[in-house]
Amino acid sequence: MRYVMVEHAGRERPGVLDGDSVLLLEATDLTAVIATGAVPTGEKIPFSEGLLRPPLRRFRRDILCTGWNYWDHFEESQGKREGQDVDRPKHPTFFTKGPDVVIGPYDDIAWDPAISVKWDYEAEVALVIGKTGRSIPVDQALDHVWGYTLANDVSQRDLQRAHGGQWLKGKSIDATMPLGPWIVTADELGDPQDVQLQCLVNGEVRQDASTRQMAFDIATLISELSFGMTLRPGDLLLTGTPAGIGNAREPQVFLQEGDVVVTRADKIGELRNTVVRQVLS
């Protein structure tokens, strides 16, 4: 199944895609659906891309993220971290993003050159936790996944470097992370290590990789993240980006006003977002 948030009758409503229609649900949002379930209202509306809103917007905690989870991406940035290089990690690397980064699947990406001059793209598969767990064994980890969606972890590289090389500040600028277009339930997606992920900028393929190339597979990410730390329904975890980022290119190339960024995966869907100047500073 594919769960959506849509704009209807002046407010955002959760629903399920049903062919060319959306079956609306009796719940406030998909966070509530994930946590407690929902029943159909009996109301159907015609589906249109223009109705889609971020599938998740209300979080119990910051957005959870994974860094350096494709070895080709880790290696492409060696020597380009401005003195902040590290050895290849032996365990997954985790960080968080502020929740106000989230925008819809076709919304504009906010861009303010006064904030940063190095705006970069990072296509990622994201997963949504559906069952509470702590210290989850690897062989049970995928049972805790409710579904999968797409994100683009738009990053400000100069802010990363200016604040000690950590990622919170350089990845938490408001209105910069497209999410969606929906959440595909785990049973429909199947094997999460068999997804082809791409990022295109102005029609040029910049990133193109399979989730089979992950340094640490999704079950391992969940198990290690949950070690001593409770994961709860509705938690969002980004699973890392492959090689091809702008900061690692020769010459470097960063997002500019007017760029069109497409993030897509064969089993999930597509985000299409335009970089638009907004005052954030």
The answer to whether 273 touches 103, Cβ cutoff 8 Å, is yes
Do 45 and 66 lie in one domain? The reply is no
pTM above 0.85, yes or no: yes
Looking up residue 194, the CATH number of its domain turns out to be: 3.90.850.10
Parent domain of 40: 2-52
Q: Does pLDDT of 191 surpass 90? A: yes
Do 197 and 260 lie in one domain? The reply is yes
Do 157 and 202 lie in one domain? The reply is yes
Question: What tokens appear for 174 in the block?
Answer: 């408001």
Per-residue pLDDT of 156-184, as tens digits, reads 999 988 888 789 999 999 999 999 999 99
Segment among 165-169, 188-192, 241-245, 253-257 with least mean pLDDT: 165-169
Do 34 and 71 lie in one domain? The reply is no
Do 46 and 177 lie in one domain? The reply is no
Per-residue pLDDT of 4-48, as tens digits, reads 999 999 999 999 999 999 999 999 999 999 999 999 999 999 999
Question: What is the widest separation between alpha-carbon atoms in the chain?
Answer: 58
Do 24 and 78 lie in one domain? The reply is no
Average pLDDT over residues 218-240: 98
Rounded to the nearest 10°, the torsion over CA 102, 181, 93, 188 is 150
Do 109 and 186 lie in one domain? The reply is yes
Locate the DSSP E strands across the chain: 2-8, 11-18, 21-25, 40-46, 52-53, 63-67, 93-97, 102-103, 109-111, 119-120, 123-129, 145-152, 155-156, 177-185, 196-201, 204-210, 236-238, 260-265, 269-277
Domain boundary pick from 11, 26, 52: 52
CA Rg, the chain, in Å? 18
Q: How many domains does the chain have?
A: 2
Do 167 and 220 lie in one domain? The reply is yes
Given pLDDT bands bounded at 50, 70 and 90, which one contains residue 98?
very high
Do 22 and 139 lie in one domain? The reply is no
Do 147 and 268 lie in one domain? The reply is yes
Handedness of CA 114, 202, 103, 208 (dihedral sign): negative
Reference 94, options 227, 249, 213, 248; nearest CA is: 227
User: What CA–CA distance (Å, rounded) separates 190 from 173?
Assistant: 33
Do 20 and 115 lie in one domain? The reply is no
Q: Which pLDDT does position 87 carry in this prediction?
A: 86
Q: CA 225, 183, 145 angle in degrees (round to 5)?
A: 35
Domain boundary pick from 17, 36, 52: 52
Do 210 and 246 lie in one domain? The reply is yes
- Quote the mean pLDDT of the chain: 96
